[in-house]
Structure 1
């Protein structure tokens, strides 16, 4: 995937990556506001449970099937410090 940068704002096209040995799709954007910097991330995947490399092998051998998931993450980074996650 790709992203563009325009006056401090980042916007991506769909990005394909690997996470825990499985494919993941990510789209993100950022926005500078008066009091904070906002980061927005959308991610999804459809993982084969037995191939997720973060699960101990003894457990993953007992699992089978697909694990479709999606996530929306927002992060606010106030100019005066700290972070808020949602």
Structure 2
């Protein structure tokens, strides 16, 4: 898949996303790697229509990083993060 976030591109984080990153041990480098070269991108079907996001997934070690990004945000706005399947 082509890079989504260009090298050096700006990523912004909502406070909730930063809290989840600390809670789950997901780093900014993990987020950047996921957004630069995702394994898969899909719409987030579990979000309300007033708050649409895309989900970016990337394998990091034995886990899959799951990053929710607000659609059409500039810079890319990370709404929340998770380890897929956990």
Q: Shared topology, TM-score over 0.5?
A: no
Name the larger-Rg structure: 1
Higher relative helix content: 2
TM-score by length of 2: 0.30
TM-score by length of 1: 0.30
Relative CO higher for 1 or 2, CA cutoff 8 Å, sep ≥ 6?
Answer: 2
